[in-house]
């Protein structure tokens, strides 16, 4: 499955840098990736640690400037034990404008990612600008 969502929320910050460095701000975005809801005993299978059924790997963290604003951007690969699509690529872009935090999240299954959606989603993420 592929999807794109934009989240807005009021903030007291005047720019994205007020949240700290991009790596530090990533901790505040964890809710976008989901939280493991299963609790119980599992064996270590498929690259997961014992008693874990999901994982997230940060592939890249960078910034982009557009129209005088800084955008924090992230590429993350998430996997779940159900093995659906070999994982999901998550592209996230965040910035602040006029007291509002804007976050764009793009998600694509691994199979679709390598069949051409990577280019489309990167283009969409890099076109994300706010006034």
Predicted confidence at residue 57, as pLDDT, reads 83
Per cent of the chain over pLDDT 70 is 79
Helix then strand then coil, in percent of the chain rounded to 5, is 30, 40, 30
Q: In the chain, what are the domains? A: 3-32+54-127 (3.40.1000.10)
Regions of the chain with pLDDT less than 50: none
Q: What is the DSSP letter of 15?
A: S
Predicted confidence at residue 110, as pLDDT, reads 85
pLDDT tens profile 54-75: 677 889 999 999 999 999 999 9
Predicted confidence at residue 87, as pLDDT, reads 82
Predicted confidence at residue 55, as pLDDT, reads 73
């Amino acid at each position: 499955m592929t999807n794109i969502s934009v989240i807005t929320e009021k903030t007291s910050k005047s720019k994205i840098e007020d949240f700290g460095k991009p790596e530090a701000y990533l901790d505040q975005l964890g809710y976008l990736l989901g939280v493991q809801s299963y609790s119980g005993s599992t064996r270590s299978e498929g690259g997961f640690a014992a008693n874990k059924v999901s994982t997230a790997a940060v592939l890249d963290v960078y910034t982009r400037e557009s129209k005088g604003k800084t955008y924090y951007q992230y590429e993350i690969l998430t996997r779940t034990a159900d093995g659906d699509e070999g994982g999901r690529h998550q592209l996230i872009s965040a910035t602040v404008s006029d007291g509002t935090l804007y976050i764009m999240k793009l998600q694509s299954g691994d199979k679709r990612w390598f069949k051409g959606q990577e280019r489309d989603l990167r283009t969409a993420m890099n076109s994300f600008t706010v006034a």
